[in-house]
Amino acid sequence: MKVLANDGISQAGIDALTAAGFSVSTNNIPQENLIDEINNSNISVLLVRSATTVRENLIDSCPNLKLVGRGGVGMDNIDVEYARNKGITVINTPGASSQSVAELVMGHLLAISRSLHDSYKNMEYGDFKTLKKKFAKGVELRGKNIAIIGFGRIGQSLASYAIGCGMTVTAVDRITDTCSIPLNLGNGISASAEITPTSSMLEAIKNADFISIHVPKQEDGSAVFGKNEFDQMKNGVRIVNAARGGVIDETALIEALASGKVAAAALDVYENEPNPRVDLLQNAKIACTPHIGAATLEAQDRIGTELAESIISKFGAQ
């Protein structure tokens, strides 16, 4: 059985699939040529990340396709229900990248608290004394309130890091069951914290010093955070989005930054990937990364291994 990992897969995943008798290709086929490649090469399993889309036309045009796998959490680049209704198995790896995304968010929280992103850009050519004065108004994380919007695996992993930094966590989720958050603090020290999410996002963001977003892209394409939501926030709030582009109304965000309502923001995802708006990238109050939330060596190994195990479990050794 042939597997095409169009957006790549870790060597650990390749090794596991190969050992089970699967043929694995990691050639990156342009979207416009993907249907022909799947049919001409008799591909049964298509693995993607966020770059490749699997829409109805591809599903209808590839009758031999048996499984589509998403290396990561969100599957908005796949017409999941349509594929499943056509008898195609659709899988993802919801837990494999949680820690990596949470650590990126923590990096962004620290960066926008101390303007590290802007400082890095200016140090080579700026005047040292001027820059020292410009960047001398940072804030600390300890003792601050963070609202985590979406309290699934990534949100819970982020909560463990935030609590470890001394932050107070308010979780927002449709499911309001109490969660026990494990705190692995290093040096063999472990503990746990009980967090009960609220279903009221507006109440949570009113008191938040920091906000981190971990919700899927809305089916109707609407933003979760627009002008109304920004108006509800306290002045000087800092926001991180490592979930999906379009969750934040980017025009409303730029206006909130200009007014001072939002002190700083960090974005790992954008409405128009892979070509984000230039005014976002050039804004000194926004720390930008190129959708790298799950892009650690450890996460990629876990993703590849989890995909391989799911495929082998589905089809057996070849």
Among all residues, which ones are annotated catalytic? 244, 273, 291
CA 39 to each of CA 1, 3, 36, 195: distance values in angstroms, whole numbers, following the listed order: 13, 12, 5, 49
d(CA 303, CA 305): 6
Residue that is written with structure tokens 């837990």 in the block: 95
Residues 6+ apart with CB under 8 A from 43: 2, 3, 4, 25, 37, 62, 64, 65
Q: What is the DSSP string of 71-84?
A: SSS--TTB-HHHHH
d(CA 185, CA 188): 7
E-strand ranges in 130-261 read 145-149, 168-172, 179-186, 189-195, 210-213, 237-241
The answer to whether 285 and 263 have CB atoms below 8 angstroms apart is yes
d(CA 108, CA 287): 7
- Phi/psi at 250 (nearest 5 deg)? -65, -35
Residues 6+ apart with CB under 8 A from 14: 5, 24, 26, 304
d(CA 73, CA 275): 22
